[in-house]
Amino acid sequence: MSSRSPTPPQEPTPSRLVGSLAVAGFLSGLIIIGIYVATLDTITENKARELREAVFRVLPEVTQMQKLQYDGERVVLKENGKDDENTLYAGYDDKGNLAGYALASDGPGFQDTIRVLFGYQPANNKVVGMWVLESRETPGLGDKIYKDAAFVTNFDNLSTEPPIVTVKRGTRSRANEVDAITGATISSKAVVRIINQGVEKWHQRLPLPGNEPQLKSEGRT
Amino acid sequence: MATLSNKMNAYDEMLKGIWRDNPVFVQVLGMCPMLAVTNSAVNAIAMGLATFFVLVSSSFLVSGMKAIIPKQVRISIYVIIIATFVTVADYTLLALFPAVHKELGAFIPLIVANCMILGRQEAFASKHSVKFAVMDAVGMAGGFLLAMFALGSVREILGEGKLFGISLFGENFEPWVIMILPPGGFITLGLLLLLFNWVGERRKQFLAQVAAVD
């Protein structure tokens, strides 16, 4: 700092230094709270819309959905409150018949937690769709778990009895097998493991056939 | 300082960041986002624009408040100012472009630690008038944006056969996956640095020849 003007005539007191930092921190806090409040509604709305779209993607022929909650004993209609790991979504067709459940599940991937939403029909032990909600897998390799349509369609009609397994690409022959992505074996296996865990967690919890929650009359679409 | 400012040309201050003192190709600053998010042209531009916003706003504020910032705590205050603008950019991007934000993820908060931004505050904005500070910031951020775009487009074209998600070569193109992985970032950056220096060298030779003829 030799190019700066010579030492100022008076050194500022420590309290002035602390004061300037405190004022800067306070103003910065105000601005951050302001932008947080200003964008909160849009962000929540975006997330809700994204989730709703994902539910329609993982459940084929579904036109209406409602949010449910597992309360520790059984699955009940969710009226409000924050979503947690016991929240699930039921999809219904045009006539209001239950078409399947969309279940969220997460677990470690190659780099970070992968969060997956999958469509499940407990009556015939079937996964009918898969959508990656969150992941930080390697661009170009691991991100094929959601960018590679061939991998995603593996999950469109998949038996979960016995549990899903990954096989080398192109060798899929049984109803519970998934073609792994070449170059992203760990990510492919992670997705399968996450879905298996989800199925295991939810299968017992879901209501028996004939006992499914009815679509509320003003079912949201 | 005032006399120096008067002699400076505002446009020259802006242009130096784009070519002569380009933050990436000449100063080799801000390498972390440079290598991390340039795997596609869109990501590179989004990151470049976020950095542009943060750098220009911070330079404006730092230059405007240079008289009241005690010099003993100036770096901490610069960091607070930069971090505030980064948070604003982060939330704005999350609200308006959730898809882009998802791709850039952890690297937006890391703009705080981009040494190019802090460097401009300490080396330029804190010593010059608001006008020059903003011109300098626009030039530097513009140079950074151009460099990001150069890297991002080369890597996307070779690594995925696409530009802005539009397929360029048809089905038969075998993408060079390595180009969108970290090694591809280093390779591309190295080659672009080589090109940049080669062009600079040729220009110098040309000017020397012209001078000799004169």
Interface ipTM: 0.75
Q: Does B5 touch chain A (CB under 8 A)?
A: no
Could you read off the pLDDT of A69-104 as tens digits, one per residue? 887 777 777 777 677 778 888 888 887 788 888 888
Question: For chain B, how far is it from start to end, CA to CA, in angstroms?
Answer: 36
Could you read off the pLDDT of A106-120 as tens digits, one per residue? 899 888 888 899 988
pLDDT of residue A9: 58
Q: Which residues 2-41 in chain A show a CB within 8 A of chain B?
A: 3-5, 8, 12, 16-17, 20-21, 24-25, 27-28, 31-32, 35-36, 38-39
Bridge partner residues of A28 (DSSP): none
Among B160, B164, B155, CA closest to B174: B160
Mean pLDDT in residue range A16-21:
89
Tell me: pLDDT of B5 over 60: no
Calculate the average pLDDT of chain B: 85
The Cα B132–Cα B176 span in angstroms is: 43
pLDDT of residue A28: 93
Bridge partner residues of A117 (DSSP): A104, A131
Q: Residue A30 — pLDDT band, cuts 50, 70, 90?
A: very high
Q: Does A141 touch chain B (CB under 8 A)?
A: yes
pTM of the full structure:
0.76
Whether residues A31 and B94 touch (CB distance < 8 A) is answered with: no
Whether residues A12 and B70 touch (CB distance < 8 A) is answered with: yes
Closest in B73, B91, B160 to A17, CB measured: B73
Tell me: pLDDT of A60 over 70: yes
Tell me: pLDDT of B163 over 90: no
Could you read off the pLDDT of B98-142 as tens digits, one per residue? 888 877 877 888 888 888 898 888 888 888 888 888 988 999 999
Q: Residue A33 — pLDDT band, cuts 50, 70, 90?
A: very high
pLDDT of residue A1: 45
Furthest C-alpha separation in chain B: 62
DSSP state, A9?
A: S
The Cα A64–Cα A216 span in angstroms is: 10
CA atoms within 13 A on the CB side of A148: 21
Domain holding B99, by residue range, is: 2-168+177-213
Q: Residue B53 — pLDDT band, cuts 50, 70, 90?
A: very high
pLDDT of residue A13: 86
Tell me: pLDDT of A4 over 90: no
For chain B, how many structural domains are there in total? 1
- DSSP for B152-185, please give it: HHHHHHHHHSEETTEESS-TT----GGGGSHHHH
Q: To 10 degrees, the CA torsion angle through B180, B183, B186, B192?
A: -50
